[in-house]
Chain A
Amino acid sequence: MMMIRNAVLLALISITGVLAQEKPEWQVKLPRTLQADFPYTKAAVRQNFPKDTVANKGVAIIVGREAFMCFDTDLLRWSAGWTGNYLTEDGVSFRGNHGASPRIAGNQKFGSAALAGWADAQGSFADPRKEPFGPLPRAQAKWRGCYVADDTVVLSYTVGEVQFLEQPGSVELDGQTAFVRSLQHGALNAAVATLVCEVENAQGGVEDGVAILVEGDPVTQVTQVALVNAPKGAALEVHENKRIVVKLAKGTAAGTFQIRIWSGPKADHGKFAALVKAPVKAEFRKMGKNRWPEPVVTQGVMNSSKTPDGAYATDVITAPERNPWNRRVRFGGLDFFSDGNRAALSTWDGDVWIVEGLKNENFKDLKWTRFASGGFETLGLKIVDDVIYTSGRDEMTRYHDLNNDGAADHYESFNNDITSSQGFHEFVFDLHTDKAGNFYTIKAGPVRGGGRGFGGGGGNGHVSAHAGALLKIDKHGEKLTVVATGFRAPNGMGVGPDGQLTSGDNEGTWVPRCPINWVKPGGFYGVEDLAHKKPLPAHHKPLCWLDKGWDNSGGGQEWVTSKRWGPFHGELLHTSYGRSSLYLVLKEEVAGQMQGGVVKFPLRFTSSAMRPRFNPHDGHLYVAGLKGWQSNAGRAAGLDRVRYTGEKVYTVSGMKVDKAGVHLTFTQKLDSKVAADPENYAISRWNYKRSSAYGSPTFKVSNPEERGNEGVNVTSAKLSADGFTVTLAVEDLRPCDQQLIKFNIDAADGTNIRNEVMHTIHVVK
């Protein structure tokens, strides 16, 4: 393992008196904020120079003892090389702060501005993109992913049509460190050029095969670059007295060479020659040993909670919150392998875990193994043909275990077209496929620290092309398209069996309350700053709004594809991240408009409820979640099974609204006397105003300018002939943003049903 003295500040504080002493050390240590035993960390990495430059999709790679280099996968440039300490722990997924992302924590030696790392056909390094976010044009150069082999990382990209592998490294001699770029390339049918580094206010030239930039008068600081094993026709050049580039000639045969970079005080500049001569091996290995061979074994907990009717129970698949690597575990994605015994979970911290033992009786001896790491806030995961895909802020990644040892070696960039600025709030949530195999994910807007408004630069980021958009990536990863816009912080979405798209969102600017959106291609879902269209399109009304106490931060949706999960086959489920709750969605289409509401499954989850998925093997619902920002969640990570016990279900299963009133359909036959007594129902209602403020106060439906709620009179309750549906005649029934129906009735068998329905009426027909 690599030595990284002082590289990471380790917060190793034990929890006093909570855990027994005989436990191994890792079980009583707090998880680390930053990982030092994996060769890289992905983040929006801030560098010291050129000033205010950020690698929006940075890969900060450990390249030696106290030596680091950061690769920008958008621009395919090396944004910085530094020595000393690794990264600061700034950032919402690190130390939890809003705003600033990690900055290089050491002594920066070289750097580059936000230019293309490989020149275009005309030899220009100028940024060719329409906006300074997202990848370079593919014809120029394209990021393909990387290979992790033990402590080395091999980057893969194409320049034009030519495949390049690049292995960063370093060499240390006599107190000096040179950074080494080892490149392996195919035959070049055209000249190419790569950017090495930039020094502002410098003088420079090439002497004896060494490109030199000097600073100061008299000279104080020197930057030197040399080639090792350079192919014929390769040339070092200094452009504009500030930029060192390497050119490879057309016709260069496939081969390998190295670029060595050193910067230091003038007094030490003579030491570079030895650093160039020192042998540095680069093997371009594509696979290595599994660095996490031992599993963490946890014991599940059955029946951690139950619905009052006993029909649904939760079982805890206990997460490896404490593990030998002191890794934080915060689940952001969930899916199942075809064996039904294993699931994969991605974490906000960039790991992929595999849990084995879902077929074990009572979830005994669950085996958790780490499969991959280093992802950029991977908050979505999907398994297709037993291959894992994740969605992260930088890309969709496809993982390959090349040597079949249980850990990923090849982190293939499946699609990296997504735009990402530095904003701390640019989460990319969830990952689904439709029947045709297309992928869907949804990106949040760059909400400002404090919660109101969007973008503005710095740690708040910018509104880039994909901010607040639902995105589709075709099954081959070739093409990313924007499906719908105007989302603020939709921590989860859904794709129905017929391809219907849904999403939640989070109360805030332009989002008066959390909605459940019934998403149509081309639709606009409310956040005006993130419409990406002019003139501003009409707001697509959500299926329903949910009041704060029900959902203050929506999670994902899931369709009940299982026939073994009680009476709800074909229905839609919604989760609340903020309220850690599971809801059945009651819905109807009236005059082309979806409307409806929710009824709660009163269950308790280990963490938030965020990624609901059916396990095709046992037919039960599994819900994964994390606690990372405001939520009433208990633990940092949770995976629970919501199991149908086979008992009778006593709840609402359907709702329709028309001129006759509100029709509520129950799962059981109702007591004809109690259910037909209007005194056993209470209805109140209110409206919201969509605005640039945070959320909305409530306004009276009868007087839209007056704040508050109002009760409405239930004039009669009529039970249908079959005894399952109650029709509530409601005085002054009319469209309203929010209506709450409370009831306290009995089923025909005497079982009390006391519950509430929260819904929205767009149309009364």
Chain B
Amino acid sequence: MHQLIAIGLALLTLPGWAQDIEPQPGLALTWQVGDARAVTVTPNFWLYVPEGKPPSPHVPGGRFTATYEGFVNIDLRGDYSFHASGKGGVKLEVNNAVLLDLKGIGGVAEAKTQSVRLNKGANPIKVTYTSPVKGDAQFRLFWSERPDNPVPHEPIRGGQLKHLPTAPLTQAGLVERGREVFLEHRCIRCHTSEGTGLPEFAMSGPDFNAIGSRTHRSWLAKWILDPKAQRPGARMPQLLHGDTAKDDAADIAAYLSTLRNDPPKPAAEYPEPDLEAGGELVRELNCAGCHTLPGDLAEEGKLSLAHVNEKFKMGELADFLRAPNAHYDWTRMPKFKYSDGEAWNIASWLRNTAKPHLEPKVELAVAAVERGKKLVITAGCINCHSHPGENEYKAPDLKVLAADQWTGGCLADKADDTSPHFGFSATDRAALRAFATTDRQSLHRYDPKEFALRQMRVLNCNECHGELEGFSDLTHVGLKLKPEWMTGLLDGSLKQRARPWLNHRMPAFPVRAKELAAGLAMAHGHAPVTPVEKGPVNAQLVETGRALLGVDGGFSCVACHGVKNRDPLQVFEAQGVNFSRVDERLHPEYFLRWMLDPLRVDPQTRMPDYFDDDARSVLVDVLEGDAKKQIEAIRQYLRQGQDMKIPVMQ
């Protein structure tokens, strides 16, 4: 509301704007490579593009310019300065005055503006960035609200940046949505011949191998007949139509039910589950972020768990929970690293809460199974689901499907009896058609940052992050975490969690991990591989840093933070991350800002600020009382990781 008011004021002061255009979050960004142009909306002023790679899926690779336009909203008139860092050329205009005009900040360099008075409300801002002649493109624009203070510049908060929507932006948004629908519905699996290099092209459906051991035949039959009837958000299309559909589905299910584990799994003994513990885990891990639990009302966009008994055979739900990706690498269901007991308790709680199911015993007719097998090969199933044998299903090549043809078949406004039914909404269809009118070269251009931001939406990251207490906001995650550590977090290979005491736990998205981490780094202007820090740790600073973290003569950081195998001394409510895990996680730039004023970075944190606004330390005798020097000493100490010596803890 505050921002709206601020914007409202800006509108009053800037005649010529249509009053009914509501400013939207983010900045308008125009990419230009040679003659090619594309517009999009971007959250902030930062990017990283490897040399020669396309900066966006919608323009080719090569030297480019990125023009950011929008408004920065402030709540109080004051003096500000801006700080650009990276490589390339930067022109910064604020309130129509040029504040920076640099041909090239060569190497990784930085430039700072003089103080500039900004008005309360919306201040027009425009940044023109030109990629360097040679080398990767890298750019970040930060600002300072107190340019007179010797504290580092910081990111402009996301909510403060707005832009006015335009017709080209709206159209570009539609194209982007169309491309996403295209990729997420695996269109390319049938309409082949176009597209390379996007991770989505490797995305398939669940493996048919041993599917009959995992799922009930009766549920498979229902699902195959009409996936959306089981799950409104299903991306699998309805493939079977007409009078024979029901029989066809039954036969396919019959066939699939014969695909069993070979050799069969050893007979399992099912222990007595702890249902209460299972239910508690379901709550703690916020399953309801993505699912509606058995007994809950259906909610759009959430996968109902009402049917778990119908679908999963005895014991299979627990196995699925333990390794959701065992038969489907690209499943959106993440891996929580459950112990056997936990998975069994959750599965049992869900089974106990959901509607009971008794699988009817049916003698399978050999003919039906044979017919089902044939249908699997001919109906298109194995375009997405792996299965041995020749695929006899043919769909038109994408190349031959000109834009005007994207109105029939799967995309017909009214479903016909021959094409797969995806149940696309009118908006989805319009988006797909908008995408169709492009040159579709975006299917050849992989932009990791675009992938990462899109996947964060697809994977519902924000159902927990920024929503629930105890979850960090992800807006600036790429500024904070080093991509190597993020990869380990996302692929589940980290040996130690950063916060093992939390009931919540971050699950793994193994197959996406590396690309997500690289993309998030690049979207925040960091290289996908963290440059190795030059030089050994400074032994003298290490000792000073160690003293600063200790009780006697230091900040008593060990009250809340553990060190290697030592627990923190006296935690109230908010434990801090073990010191041996800090350097592997945090970018030095972020670490400095965090240490200087944690509440500026995260208003909900319980970490106190130890330094004054003018970057002075209360420990005036250490390193001249210079906060930045003290923080650097602490960082040098933290760089040692597991080699650090324990600080004084009493």
Contact = CB atoms under 8 A, between A and B. Distances in A.
A630 B569 CA distance: 10
A13 B3 CA distance: 55
Contact of A606 (B1, B2, B618): B618
A579 B559 CA distance: 16
A684 B120 CA distance: 14
Contacts of A634: 555, 610, 617-620
Interface centre among A96, A578, A606, A627 (most CB of B within 10 A): A96
Contacts of A92: 570
A271 B275 CA distance: 63
B569 A96 contact: yes
B385 to A, nearest CB: 43
A588 interface: no
Contact of A679 (B119, B469, B619, B620): B119
A30 B612 contact: no
Contacts of B544: 18
Interface in A407-451: 447, 450-451
Interface string B590-628: 000000000100011010111011001111100000000
A629 B573 contact: no
For the side of the interface on B, what is the size category? Answer: 35 or more
B356 to A, nearest CB: 36
B570 A710 contact: no
B265 interface: no
Given A16-B543, A682-B76, A742-B75, A630 B572 contact: yes
- Bin chain A's interface residue count: 35 or more
Which of B6, B573, B612 counts the most chain A CB atoms within 10 A?
A: B573
B606 A679 contact: no
Given A16-B543, A710-B1, A636 B650 contact: no
Interface stretch (B91-99, B358-366, B545-553): B545-553
A670 to B, nearest CB: 15
A171 B74 CA distance: 78
B571 interface: yes
B540 interface: yes
B608 A682 contact: no
Given A15-B553, A96-B650, A702-B1, A629 B570 contact: yes
Contacts of A711: 1-3, 5-6, 75
A15 B570 contact: no
Contacts of B559: 96, 629-630
A636 B559 CA distance: 13
Contacts of A684: 2, 75
Nearest to A741: B76
A580 B77 CA distance: 29
B508 interface: no
Interface string B75-91: 11110000000000000
Interface in B165-215: none
A452 B573 contact: yes
A450 B570 CA distance: 8
B610 A632 contact: yes
Interface string A502-518: 00000010000000000
Interface in A731-761: 742-744, 754
Contact of A743 (B76, B121, B469, B570): B76
B56 interface: no
B120 to A, nearest CB: 4
B560 interface: yes
Contacts of B649: 96
A304 interface: yes
A88 to B, nearest CB: 13
Contacts of B571: 98, 450-451
A53 interface: no
Contacts of A712: 2, 5
B648 interface: yes
Contacts of A288: none
A31 interface: yes
A11 B553 contact: no
Contacts of A290: none
A33 interface: yes
Nearest to A607: B618
Contacts of A89: 650
B556 interface: yes
Nearest to B558: A96
A675 interface: no
Interface in B520-544: 540, 543-544
Contacts of B556: 627, 631
Contacts of A17: 540, 543
A537 B604 CA distance: 31
Of the listed residues A548, A579, A607, the one surrounded by the most CB atoms of chain B closer than 10 A to its CB is A548
Contact of A96 (B120, B570, B599, B617): B570
A304 B556 CA distance: 22
A742 B77 CA distance: 10
Nearest to B619: A634
A605 interface: yes
Given A450-B572, A630-B560, A635-B618, A95 B76 contact: no
Interface string B563-587: 0000001111100000000000000
A30 B120 CA distance: 53
Nearest to B613: A602
Interface string A1-34: 0000000000101011110000000000011010
B570 A97 contact: yes
A98 B573 contact: no
A549 B650 CA distance: 27
A292 interface: no
A604 interface: yes
A257 interface: no
Given A629-B572, A630-B559, A711-B2, A744 B619 contact: no
B609 A96 contact: no
A742 B76 contact: yes
A306 to B, nearest CB: 11
A679 B599 contact: no
A17 B546 CA distance: 12
Contact of B77 (A30, A579, A604, A680): A680
Given A604-B612, A635-B618, A18 B547 contact: yes
A679 B543 contact: no
A133 interface: no
A381 to B, nearest CB: 23
A695 interface: yes
A633 interface: yes
A517 to B, nearest CB: 20
A304 B620 contact: yes
A15 to B, nearest CB: 6
Contacts of B570: 92, 96-98, 629-630
A557 B59 CA distance: 64
A552 B606 contact: yes
Nearest to B556: A627
A488 B428 CA distance: 56
B337 to A, nearest CB: 25
B76 A681 contact: yes
Contact of B608 (A33, A98, A508, A630): A630
Interface in A599-635: 602, 604-607, 627, 629-635
Interface in A321-376: none
A681 B78 CA distance: 10
26 contacts: A15-B552, A18-B547, A89-B650, A95-B569, A96-B551, A96-B570, A96-B650, A451-B573, A548-B599, A549-B599, A549-B603, A604-B616, A607-B618, A627-B556, A631-B608, A632-B608, A632-B610, A634-B619, A635-B619, A679-B121, A682-B76, A711-B3, A711-B6, A712-B5, A742-B75, A744-B77
Q: Which 4 pairs of residues, A with B, have the shortest CB-CB distance? A: A711-B2, A634-B618, A451-B572, A632-B608
Interface of A: 11, 13, 15-18, 30-31, 33, 89, 92, 95-98, 304, 447, 450-452, 508, 548-549, 552, 578-580, 602, 604-607, 627, 629-636, 679-682, 684, 694-695, 697, 700, 702, 709-713, 742-744, 754
